[in-house]
Structure 1
């Protein structure tokens, strides 16, 4: 028996477990389906692609996507301590102020969330109005700074786009290097930042290799979870609360397996309905990316990263190409007039990132392209079976709304304009998989054929639809969800930063602590506000 049972040791779950267990009077159990994060490749930034489809990845795919030539889209998710923060590209990108304010939920505006972003952060640039120093999560400038990334930024400037040295401050627009969740050149996941420093606490139990199958309920109250480790059933009881931190795909799946979801869907699968909750699993969103891959003969891509001199540089200095997070640089733009904020971001990486990162690089290349930040298309997560080990059915419906396709087309044209600038000349010898022409029709077919996910699924247990602003599942006592699934919209960032802030805020909500004060004098001290 524990006070709190947390399901999922990912970006939010590790934060929540560490923060709740700061109170020695409560007993916390954190349950993770995957193993510990002791694989060396987890901690070498440039090796993140080697983790895809391994034992530390849930290895999901979408259902056939009608607007993408019925392709199934690869959707990696971390199945390991640290969750997806242990296998992602380490970008530290909050959403835009407008994103959080547009949620319209009490306690979740940008100004109310900013103190939680700051509390979590140990930014190597130091504290300011927008950033924290001394928090658990290391945020740093990248240590690779590949020559191709430099060239991409120079080309963006030649194309007329402005520079930006901090996408997490007052203005997102412009091009620059991204900050990353790294410490001394190595990955800083939430397991590294939050969980491992707390592991020796006697009131914190961390269970790995247990896949939770359902939430146990008595009447309208959650009382624990049941799952399995290999062939052994495991039951863990919660005296106060069960908190799902399993992510955009697994949190709604667990709710439905527990009888909490669309009643007709559950009955069709023979699942006893505990609560008819039609919105569970709906509102699924993601950021689609259109990759533009340009090959060349310059020996400067990440293919050189494992050469002895760079292995030594990484081991001794924590620098060099092995510290590359992939998308080292990029920029936020508005593709049309009249928008209140950027609708596209470019991620640029000094490598051949083909087939959603599953294809082996066959030569030196640079990959970049538009990521659609404000898609109108919506998908859903449902069940294909009442067997809890069956993967959920994921349908993103990319480009279901034609406006998303128009944005993608405009984004590709901006990307091609950057490619033609002088600074990109040495790295623009051939366009891999180029369409027959650059007509709207041919580029649209290219977009349909090569768009893939940038792995930012969210919003399937949204605040105001599935959970209330306290993150409590509406209609069930003692049950909350605290991960990116509660975000009403994905927003204009990389969700990992938001997941960390959600974990921080959830800890205060659960513990009954007052919210952090946005008007704290320390927050207001920065004259650059």
Structure 2
């Protein structure tokens, strides 16, 4: 293989990585209940206060508003009318936006992997590649959920945000290659999580407009709901009387001007504060409010309300590894549409198209692809070495590449679970600062084994008859792996070479697929009803409660959980 192709396609890999897209339905709904927090009163009272207007918080708020007064506090802004959110063609732009008005907030785990957290109404459903798939039946059973209500809750979500994707030639070839590789049976189009190969749903409609969890607020009772944007919650307030359990009864939040606001619960035994701030935000807020490991809280001069050492524990992020396949033919633009659900614990997915791998212009995919260095995805640089300088050098290098370098696609694998776990700690007492989080990718050897088996399955797909027209004959599998692991963007020596085991490839090229979870897990921090153990009138309802990531992609289940728990909580309220 000549050096020109090596440099061209190797560099394309670092520029292609598309993050879970970012747009909301183009036409903004008329939400009369949505306001900037600067307009909020200094003091207010509600039946329910929800912290976090994300993937779980929006459906939860919409449901509770039917029979109660609800305050939904979101630290970010609205997704509507924002061009980097409302159009699939701008997919990935939100993740690369590091401005103060960005709908995402970059963080870097202690593992060195660059990541992102949402900062917008609708949460992660505004920042993803749109794949919609339910959790497995076994997952529902183990969670202790009511199967009938789960099904009804999924359907409630799907009426507004889920669609069947149009399948192009690249995705069809990946689908058929998976079947040739033995990931069978083929289950057609379905939202269900079933072993084999399937076409899943998407939250992008036929016009390429994204439909997010924020759209679920269309189901709200306008007279029962208040949504405040740019409202940063600093603390949950507890009433502590004698030897009674601490009881949450209010929150302190600030608006963009720095003005302080207090919101309290109305009198009533069923009124509650519900934290839905995500896998980073929820354990962080509990700690800032005095619920967490006592020694750690005291080190930050935080008054301890409840010594709960398991807050912030059990953090996990599903590792992703991918292989770039340069194509001799033009390929369609596609996000995640097909998935192979294997029995060995790896999920195989794919994405394609020049619009997500390269191009020109200020908003080109060369800037904003899923594997774009602008969003921190530098698989060609080991995790700890993905510095701002490395990113800047990669971005500059890509600007000089020919368009052909971005023609092709990626086939990726994500580890089920994962089994490896880490932890989260406070860095500061400012809720707007990122906490310190360690995910310990591949610490458990079973995760590493799953990665190897996933990469071996990708090899079978690429070498399948079904996929033959999308690969160059002279680009052998070892060459593709070597391009991926040792492209010219590699700034420092790497471990992997074709003579070394795939375990090194997995470790060197690990990236995030943004499915991190944990920190407030069921049975450890919250009970089966998501009530925080040891205190009253406080729940956590979001992905921080998960022990494992549900399904191949979690957003459908997080939205379902918001609706599901809203229905259950209202049922309890009306029964009393």
TM-score range normalised by the length of the shorter chain: 0.7 to 0.9
Matches within 5 A, 1:25-40: 26-38=68-80, 39-40=82-83
What are the ranges of 5 or more consecutive residues in structure 1 without an aligned counterpart?
A: 66-71, 123-136, 303-323, 336-342, 516-529
Q: Structure 2: 5+ residue runs without aligned partners?
A: 1-44, 241-245, 358-369, 378-394, 399-404, 487-495
For the residues of structure 2 that align with 1:32 and 1:119, how far apart are their CA atoms?
23
Q: TM-score, normalised by structure 2?
A: 0.75
- For residues 489 and 363 of structure 1, the distance between their equivalents in structure 2, rounded to whole angstroms, comes to 34
Q: Cα deviations across residues 184-216 of structure 1 (Å, max 9, x unaligned)?
A: 442111111x11453x71221110011111111
CA-CA distance at 1:119 after TM superposition: 3.5
Q: Is 2:410 the partner of 1:367? A: yes
Secondary structure in structure 1 of the residue aligned to 2:129 = coil
* 1:182 aligns to 2:211 (yes or no): no
TM superposition shift of 1:44: 1.9
Given candidates 224, 228, 234, the residue that maps to 1:213 is 234
Q: 280, 284, 287: which is aligned to 1:253?
A: 284
Distance 1:291-1:57 versus aligned 2 partners, 3 A rule: farther
Contact 2:83-2:90 at 8 Å conserved across structures: no
C-alpha contact 1:56 1:78 (8 A) present in aligned 2: no
Q: Secondary structure at the match of 2:194?
A: coil
In structure 1, the residue matched to 2:162 is: 139
**Aligned with 2:565: secondary structure?**
helix
Q: Over the residues paired in the alignment, what is the CA RMSD in angstroms? A: 2.3
1:489 aligns with 2:489: no
Distance 1:387 1:161 in 2: 47
Query: C-alpha displacement at 1:290, in angstroms?
Result: 0.7
Check whether the contact 2:110–2:436 (CA below 8 A) recurs between aligned residues: no
Q: Is the 8 A contact 1:176 1:329 kept in 2?
A: yes
How far 1:358 sits from its partner (Å)?
4.6
Which residue in the other structure is 1:15 paired with?
A: 59
Answer whether contact 2:130 2:336 (CA < 8 A) is retained: no
Q: Quote the Cα distance in structure 2 between the aligned partners of 1:78 and 1:279.
A: 24
Q: State the secondary structure of the residue aligned to 1:354.
A: coil
Structure 1 counterpart of 2:312? 281
1:160 aligns with 2:182: yes
Aligned twin of 1:461:
520
Q: What is the CA–CA distance in structure 1 between the aligned matches of 2:206 and 2:180, rounded to whole Å?
A: 33
Inter-CA distance 56–15: structure 2 relative to 1 (3 Å threshold)? farther
Q: Which residue of 2 aligns with 1:346?
A: 348
Q: Which moves more between the two structures, 499-508 or 441-450?
A: 441-450
SS in 2 for 1:300: coil
For 1:175, what is the secondary structure of its paired residue? strand
Tell me, what secondary structure is at the counterpart of 2:187? coil
1:377 corresponds in structure 2 to: 420
2:336 to 327, 346, 349: 327
Task: Provide the aligned length of Structure 1 versus Structure 2.
Answer: 456
2:326 aligned residue: 295
* 2:362 paired residue number: none
Q: Distance in 2 between the 1:208 and 1:371 partners?
A: 34
1:224 aligns with 2:250: yes
Between stretches 178-187 and 91-100, larger displacement belongs to 178-187
* CA offset digits 1:391-410 (Å, max 9, x no partner): 11111111111111111111
How much does 1:120 deviate? 3.0
C-alpha separation in 2, matches of 1:167 and 1:447 = 30
Conserved in 1, the CA contact under 8 Å of 2:183 and 2:341? Answer: no
| Cα distance between partner residues in 2 of 1:164 and 1:433 | 31
